[in-house]
Amino acid sequence: MKIVLQRVAEASVTVEGETTGAIGAGLLILVCGEPDDSDQEVSYLAGKIAKMRIFEDDQGKMNRSIQDIGGSALVVSQFTLAGEWRKGNRPGFSKAAPPEKGEQLYEALCAELSRLGLPVEKGRFGADMKVQLLNDGPVTIVMDTARS
């Protein structure tokens, strides 16, 4: 799986003018499932996301997790994270999971984050979404289970 975490002061996603998810302080999580991914990757990544200390403490050091600050997660599917860009000028997306599997992985990640106690808001899988965010820091972490 490929995930991009962005620490945000706020974020929202709309589909056809309807807000499907919105959060205050927390994480915008862009997610791309890949063909060989399983529930093992989902569980591992959710645990890392919930405990990752990328929020500032009282001394301004990144020492607090999303759980520590009582933050929320906005989870958005983004198959383009698997984009192959080296050959030609139009990226290919054959390394992304097929839609059915991608959606299953996306929903499983949302469910696992919720199970870990995080408030989770979502985009709409496969939709043309408009994502707005106020980056905080900016702090952006790229997670890729194929490169761990």
Catalytic residues: 78-80
Interior CA angle at 76 toward 22 and 108, to 5°? 110
Cβ atoms of residues 8 and 23 within 8 Å: yes
DSSP structure class, residue 91? -
CA gap 65, 48 in Å, rounded: 10
